[in-house]
Amino acid sequence: MRQKIVAGNWKMNKTLEEAKILASEVMAMVADEVKGNVKVVLCVPSPYLVPLKNQLGNSSIKIGAQNCSEHDWGAYTGEVSALMLKSMEIPYVILGHSERRQYFGENGKLLGAKVDKALAAGITPIFCCGEPLEIREAGTHEQLVKQQVEEALFHLSAEALQKVVIAYEPVWAIGTGKTATAQQAQEMHAVIRKQLASKYGEAVANEISILYGGSVNSKNAEELFSCPDVDGGLVGGASLKSREFVDVIKGMK
């Protein structure tokens, strides 16, 4: 089912102590203030997955990782596999974030393999796509994003695809304070959904949650989330402050 989701991507921020405080503040505010059926996910640094999952207990907030390996086990120093995440009962993992593509050389083929590992472990991948500024300026952004989606996801069956969440994150809007307009976001989300429909049919495409990411904050969230093809957000900086993050969540009506 197409679900409304607001996920915080904490990236490489916070000490364990700070992380626990942030999670407990978000948990209390969400319990008090957030009504309706929006799913809230906190994608936290891997060493904090278990302590924060334990802290959240049976709250409605779910925990996610920010990456996983394309391998199951073995001599891959520093890596975390989807099977490890499964053994910790972690339900979500971000894959293909633009920072992973840019700084760690992740490409479509590798990401396809990571998506497969996450799905095989029963973990929902939040698969990221999005164009850098020069591509947007050259006007080839639709082409690039469609290529990113095709390379990493189009080998999946319709049944498997329906377990994937997609996040459209234009790189020029990440951490820059320069948000895509609601119109720009809607246009790209519609392009992605149409692409999914052309391969998997409209019924399947309409089941996929497509999140927007890139300088989402409490002031722009409501307008972005009101777009028909925007099913929620993947939130960086604004997820690091409890009040701001919960106000973003409340932008989802």
Under the rule (CB under 6 A), what is the footprint of ligand 13P? 9, 97, 169, 174-175, 213-216, 234-238
Nearer to ligand 13P, 200 or 209 (CB): 209
Residue placing its CB nearer to ligand 13P in the complex, 67 or 215: 215
Between helices 108-120 and 141-153, what is the axis angle to 10°?
A: 40
DSSP collapsed to 3 states, 37-76: CCEEEEECCHHHHHHHHHHHCCCCCEEEECCCCCCCCCCC
Residue 211 makes CB contacts below 8 A (sequence gap 6+) with: 5, 6, 7, 126, 165, 166, 167, 168, 230, 231, 232, 233, 234
Question: Least distance (Å) from ligand 13P to the CB of residue 43?
Answer: 8
Q: How far is the CB of 233 from ligand 13P (least distance, A)?
A: 8
Closer Cβ to ligand 13P, 119 or 234, answer by number: 234
Give the residue with the Cβ less far from ligand 13P, 40 or 216: 216
Structure tokens at 110: 């590798």
Q: Determine the residue with CB nearest ligand 13P.
A: 236
| CA 4/CA 246 separation, integer angstroms | 15
The phi and psi torsions of 46 (rounded to 5 degrees) equal -55, -35
Q: Which residues carry out catalysis?
A: 97, 169
Closest contact distance (angstroms) between CB of 216 and ligand 13P is: 5
Q: Minimum CB separation from ligand 13P for residue 158, in Å?
A: 27
Q: Spell out the residues 6+ positions from residue 157 whose beta carbon is closer than 8 angstroms to its own.
A: none
